[in-house]
């Protein structure tokens, strides 16, 4: 079923339900209605408002991006109509790993949650966010490994003179594997150099080119940035550079590689060397001496560490310590990280806490799962009995009246079971996720703790933001309030936080 559902009060979290079920799944009793009832049961248990149902009929999970229903869902996420998406399992959202990561990036950017019932992942919970952060870290590592392997092949292809991808620079075109002047664009590229030597202003050159009716290859007006880039490119004087830049990552600028890594190839020039040299000498003379201010350093516990007096603690540029400017309380940044790591270890490697939680939680989940199995067995028996009644009627062994007496009550009971089973399944899902996906989180957390020293500063910061709500530094102790990794006992009772007071004997 598609379309909007009348919203509940605005205070309730608005979520959508994602349904993609193949024909084979329907044969195995995984109808769209079953998945929807299961998701609605979970949403009801969480007190959420189901505002939309997105259903993809007969769509392969290999690629769902670009589908109308997918686009409608993403529009609702970006407009904040929904802030969470519930689906039965990750394979139902998409089978393509790249698309799953794309969904994760979009939802993370829009501060929306993904809820997979089968895998017990709910990013609206602290442990769900931690689990997903660790998945993202591993995915980032995998992407970087692929990027490194790809980058290793670039110098070889460059030395062989092969095309490395991307369009030809303005004024040129690719003909096979050769870069040659474009008869339509080459005169514009030459005019750009001549105008700059004459007027010595990049903005003036851009304005004049635009007034003459010239545009960049994608149809956009020329800007001073475009003019600067084209003036600097030595391709125009017959020297094509390859393997000379590298990316710093998503949404980050490209930077030049060391000149010894560059690969140079001769191409047909558009402008003489003298004109190119004169234009670039003018650019060098006009270059500002000041540089763009460096990106502000984000310290590992910045914004989270507070002094016992109530003030926030900062790391001054001339000190390696977090300092309270109100009472001058301080703690070395390195020592605070050691204390935090010890607290992480204290949680994930505590056999007593783990055993206690497992004993308290398994019974509750097992009871619900036993009930679910009982209902499913009864449903299967009813279906078999109804098939036997129908076969008897078709064989004229019973009358129409007999069919009504035997088939009607079974059909009514079957409908009750089909309504009840998804609700119980939703309760099981809710209990599992309420326990914060303990098995996966514990395993991943232990791995995370042992690999802490190998994580980048950015990855560590993501973990701290996910699980640490507040760190309070006193004169003789540190209190760490963890919202993502409370003690396992408080996990089982559904509490959200636990405070660990740790004695600190470090340097003051």
- Which superfamily, per CATH, for 3-119? Resolvase, N-terminal catalytic domain (3.40.50.1390)
Using CA atoms, how far apart are residues 187 and 4, in angstroms rounded to an integer?
57
Residue 79 CB contacts under 8 Å (≥ 6 apart), including other chains: none
Flag whether pLDDT at 295 surpasses 80: no
pTM of the predicted structure, to 2 decimals: 0.42
Residue-level pLDDT at 404: 85
Segment of 26-40, 108-122, 240-254 carrying the highest mean pLDDT: 108-122
Q: In terms of Cα–Cα distance, which of 400, 464, 459 is closest to 140?
A: 459
DSSP code of 236? G
The ranges of the chain annotated as CATH 3.40.50.1390 are 3-119
The larger pLDDT score, comparing residue 474 to residue 161, is at 474
Q: How is residue 257 annotated by DSSP? A: P
User: Of 49-53, 99-103, 191-195, which gets the smallest average pLDDT?
Assistant: 99-103
Predicted local confidence at residue 82, as pLDDT: 95
* Environment class of 82 (CB within 10 Å of its CB; exposed 0-12, middle 13-18, buried 19+): buried
Query: Quick one: average pLDDT of 52-81?
Result: 85
For the chain, residues classed under CATH 3.90.1750.20 are: 161-286
Residue 74 gets the label, from left (phi > 0), alpha (psi -120 to 50) or beta, of alpha
Q: How far apart are CA 409 and CA 416, in angstroms?
A: 11
- Confirm if 73 and 15 have CB atoms less than 8 A apart: no
Average of per-residue pLDDT across 190-205:
91
Q: What is the pLDDT of residue 459?
A: 74
Phi-psi category of residue 306: left, alpha or beta, with phi > 0 → left and psi -120 to 50 → alpha: beta
- What is the mean pLDDT of the segment spanning 469-496? 58
> What CATH number does the domain located at 161-286 have?
3.90.1750.20
Instruction: Measure the CA–CA gap between 58 and 66, rounded to whole angstroms.
Output: 15
Has residue 466 got a pLDDT over 70? Answer: no
What pLDDT does 137 receive?
A: 62
Residue 196: pLDDT over 80 = yes
């Amino acid at each position: 079923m598609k379309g909007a559902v009348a919203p509940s009060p605005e205070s309730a979290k608005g979520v959508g339900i994602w349904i993609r079920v193949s024909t084979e799944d329907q044969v195995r009793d995984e109808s769209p209605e079953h998945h929807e009832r299961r998701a609605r049961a979970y949403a009801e248990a969480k007190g959420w408002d189901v505002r939309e149902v997105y259903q993809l009929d007969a769509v392969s999970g290999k690629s769902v991006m670009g589908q109308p229903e997918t686009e409608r869902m993403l529009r609702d996420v970006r407009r904040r109509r929904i802030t969470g998406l519930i689906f039965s399992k990750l394979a139902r959202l998409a089978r393509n790993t790249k698309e799953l990561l794309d969904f994760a990036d979009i939802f993370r950017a829009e501060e929306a949650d993904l809820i997979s019932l089968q895998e017990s992942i709910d990013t609206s919970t602290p442990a769900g966010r931690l689990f997903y952060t660790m998945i993202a870290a591993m995915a980032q590592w995998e992407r970087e490994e692929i990027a490194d392997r790809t980058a290793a092949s670039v110098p070889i292809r460059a030395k062989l003179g092969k095309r490395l991808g991307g369009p030809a620079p303005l004024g040129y075109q690719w003909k096979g594997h050769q870069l040659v002047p474009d008869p339509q664009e080459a005169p514009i590229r030459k005019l750009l150099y001549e105008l700059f030597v004459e007027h010595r202003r990049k903005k003036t050159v851009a304005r004049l080119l635009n007034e003459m009716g010239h545009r960049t290859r994608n149809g956009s007006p020329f800007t001073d940035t475009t003019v600067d880039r084209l003036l600097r490119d030595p391709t125009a004087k017959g020297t094509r550079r390859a393997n000379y830049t590298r990316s710093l990552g998503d949404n980050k600028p490209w930077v030049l590689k060391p000149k010894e890594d560059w690969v140079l190839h001769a191409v047909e020039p558009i402008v003489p060397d003298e004109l190119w040299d004169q234009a670039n000498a003018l650019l060098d003379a006009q270059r500002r001496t000041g540089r763009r201010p460096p990106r502000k350093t984000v310290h590992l516990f910045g914004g989270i560490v507070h002094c016992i007096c109530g003030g926030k603690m900062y790391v001054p540029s001339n000190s390696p310590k977090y300092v309270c400017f109100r009472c001058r309380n301080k703690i070395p940044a390195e020592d605070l990280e050691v204390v935090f790591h010890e607290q992480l270890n204290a949680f994930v490697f505590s056999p007593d806490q783990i055993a206690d939680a497992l004993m308290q939680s398994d019974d509750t989940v097992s009871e619900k799962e036993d009930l679910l199995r009982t209902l499913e067995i009864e449903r299967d028996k009813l279906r078999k009995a109804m098939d036997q009644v129908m076969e008897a009627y078709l064989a004229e062994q019973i009358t129409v009246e007999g069919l009504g007496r035997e088939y009607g009550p079974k059909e009514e009971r079957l409908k009750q079971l089909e309504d009840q089973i998804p609700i119980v399944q939703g309760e099981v899902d809710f209990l599992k996720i309420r326990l914060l996906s303990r098995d996966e989180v514990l395993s991943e957390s232990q791995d995370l703790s042992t690999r802490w020293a190998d994580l980048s500063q950015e990855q560590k910061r993501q973990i701290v933001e996910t699980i640490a709500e507040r760190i309070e530094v006193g004169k003789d102790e540190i209190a760490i309030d963890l919202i993502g990794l409370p003690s396992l006992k408080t996990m089982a009772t559904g509490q959200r936080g636990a405070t660990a007071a740790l004695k600190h004997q470090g340097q003051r």
